[in-house]
Amino acid sequence: MSEHSTYVPGNAVEKWLDDRLPVVRFAKAHLMDFPTPKNLNYWWTFGAILVMCLGVQIVTGIILAMHYTPNTALAFDSVEHIRRNVSGGRVIQATHAVGASMFFVALYVHMFRGLYYGSYKAPREILWILGVLIFILTMATAFMGYILPWGQMSFWGATVISNIFTAIPLVGENIKQLVLGGFAVGNPTLNRFFSLHYLLPFVIAAVVALHIWALHVPGNNNPVGVEVKDSRDTIPFHPYYTMKDLFAMVLFMIPFAWFIFFAPDILGHPDNYIMANSQVTPAHIVPEWYLLPFYTILRAIDFNVLFIDSKLGGVIAMGGAMVMLLVVPWLDTSKVRSGNFRPMFKWFYWLFVINFIGLMYLGAQPAEGIYTVLAKVCTAYYFVYFLIVLPVLSRIETPKPLPTSISESVLGKNAHA
């Protein structure tokens, strides 16, 4: 890990520390000197933006936990208490709630960047898999966090999602009761979800550390997808990418701040300002926007397949849509990483992006009429893209010629300009 180190202890104290715990050497090698491809575009800044998002959620979350009460009788009021009485609580609570959405914006951009530039291909499979684990952990954390305000959507969202467990044959009902701590969502559920919602971000932070470790073994992929060949292809992480990442964070904070200060509730649902009521289901249950594509896939399977009934089928499809991401490195066997050099891939990729946005739109619509048909079509393309398009394209597509090095591609671009 210290192969890039150029650290020379400046004085006796630094030397003393370096001989015992070379933490300064480690930081210099990985946060400053780390050789980074010189052609990274702004899509590559979202990793740093995501680290910032996780930091924002942890800091605001720890503060909110100082004022919040995880009890069904008090939770709803305690959130209102934070918003109305706690000094600055209105902004801190809004930052946490909006922050969840901004986290997923950055997460989806980061993942779609990886899918376009083939960042999941050898030797970065483990890096990609750790990223998918972070994605799944983040969805779980966000879902549990949404229960805590104890509004109608909190309650019924939890009811719908926990009933997914009942699709498991034989032991489903018992697993559901084990998860909820009762026969329905109630006080034990709220308590344990609060506990886990506090724990999981630190688990995510640990997996992020592994993710960055796995990144720093092969180094960054880059927009042309050609591996770094020599030092002419790279520049040190600091100051070049520290500054670029910081600038991107500032840009990212502009819409973030706009939501916090001007529209803190626009991404939420009005029904969640009604306290949870186990006797009344809202007319239209909608999860938060970032879970909608997977919710659509869950709902799309409304027919039995052989011995698998529609409910279990929906759960398998939704789980499969996430698990599918784990095996992408072995489905796309094309040697060319970057979509820029894959003329056919590009079309299917952008169709996949549009299709994903379509799934998101459909998840917010009622399950009737044309929407159920479209949901089936979009769900089908989601799976076709991974299971058919990627493997087949890998065999039949003729990629465009690749530049021999990153350095050549950068200089070539300048020569044409």
Q: Which is nearer to other proteins, 3 or 368 (CB)?
A: 368
Q: Which is nearer to other proteins, 188 or 255 (CB)?
A: 188
| Alpha helical stretches, state H, 169-291 | 172-180, 187-216, 242-262
Of 4, 38, 67, 192, which lies in the binding site for other proteins, with binding defined by CB under 8 A?
192
Residue 328 CA: distances (Å) to CA of 4, 105, 333, 354: 31, 21, 9, 19
Q: Note whether 3 binds other proteins by CB under 8 A.
A: no
Hunting for tokens 């009344």 — which residue is that?
280
Q: Which is nearer to other proteins, 19 or 368 (CB)?
A: 368
- Cα atoms in the Cβ-side hemisphere of radius 13 Å centred on 115: 25
x/- map, 41-60, other proteins, by CB under 8 A: --------------------
First CA to last CA distance, the chain: 39
Q: Note whether 188 binds other proteins by CB under 8 A.
A: yes
- Least distance (Å) between residue 196 CB and other proteins: 11
Q: Note whether 75 binds other proteins by CB under 8 A.
A: no
Could you tell me which stretch among 87-95, 130-138, 180-188, 398-406 binds other proteins (CB under 8 A)?
180-188
Paired residues of 117 in beta bridges: none
E strand segments, 131-175? none
Of 36, 60, 119, 162, which lies in the binding site for other proteins, with binding defined by CB under 8 A?
162
Rg of the chain over all Cα atoms, to the nearest angstrom: 24
Residue 221: both structure tokens together: 């992929």
Span 261-290, contacts to other proteins by CB under 8 A = 278-281, 283-285
Q: Note whether 184 binds other proteins by CB under 8 A.
A: yes
Cβ-count burial 293-307 (b if 16+ within 10 Å, e if not): bbbbbbbbbeeeeee
Q: Note whether 171 binds other proteins by CB under 8 A.
A: no
Span 308-327, contacts to other proteins by CB under 8 A = 309-312, 314
Residue 56: both structure tokens together: 């924002």
Q: Tell me the C-alpha distance between 261 and 161, whole Å.
A: 31
Task: Give me the amino acid identity at 24.
Answer: V
Could you tell me which stretch among 29-37, 44-52, 108-116, 154-162 binds other proteins (CB under 8 A)?
154-162
Residue 26: both structure tokens together: 């480690």
3 state DSSP class of 384: helix
Of 110, 269, 299, 376, which lies in the binding site for other proteins, with binding defined by CB under 8 A?
299
Q: Which is nearer to other proteins, 105 or 160 (CB)?
A: 160
- Least distance (Å) between residue 136 CB and other proteins: 20
Q: Note whether 368 binds other proteins by CB under 8 A.
A: yes
- Interstrand relation of 35-37 and 234-236 (parallel, antiparallel or unpaired): antiparallel
3 state DSSP class of 6: coil
Q: With CB under 8 A as the rule, give the number of residues binding other proteins.
A: 36
Q: Note whether 196 binds other proteins by CB under 8 A.
A: no
Q: Note whether 11 binds other proteins by CB under 8 A.
A: no
Cα 112 off chain centre by: 10
Hunting for tokens 């890039």 — which residue is that?
4
Q: Which is nearer to other proteins, 45 or 189 (CB)?
A: 189
Of 35, 181, 218, 320, which lies in the binding site for other proteins, with binding defined by CB under 8 A?
181
CA dihedral angle for residue 334, residue 125, residue 349, residue 46, rounded to 10 degrees: -140
Q: Note whether 365 binds other proteins by CB under 8 A.
A: no
Q: Note whether 372 binds other proteins by CB under 8 A.
A: yes
Q: Which is nearer to other proteins, 231 or 279 (CB)?
A: 279
Q: Tell me the C-alpha distance between 197 and 337, whole Å.
A: 37
Closest by CA position to 381, among listed 411, 414, 348: 348
Of 163, 242, 334, 405, which lies in the binding site for other proteins, with binding defined by CB under 8 A?
163
Q: Note whether 301 binds other proteins by CB under 8 A.
A: yes
Which residues in this chain contact other proteins in the complex, by CB under 8 A? 156, 159-164, 177-179, 181-184, 186, 188, 192, 278-281, 283-285, 299, 301-302, 309-312, 314, 366-368, 372
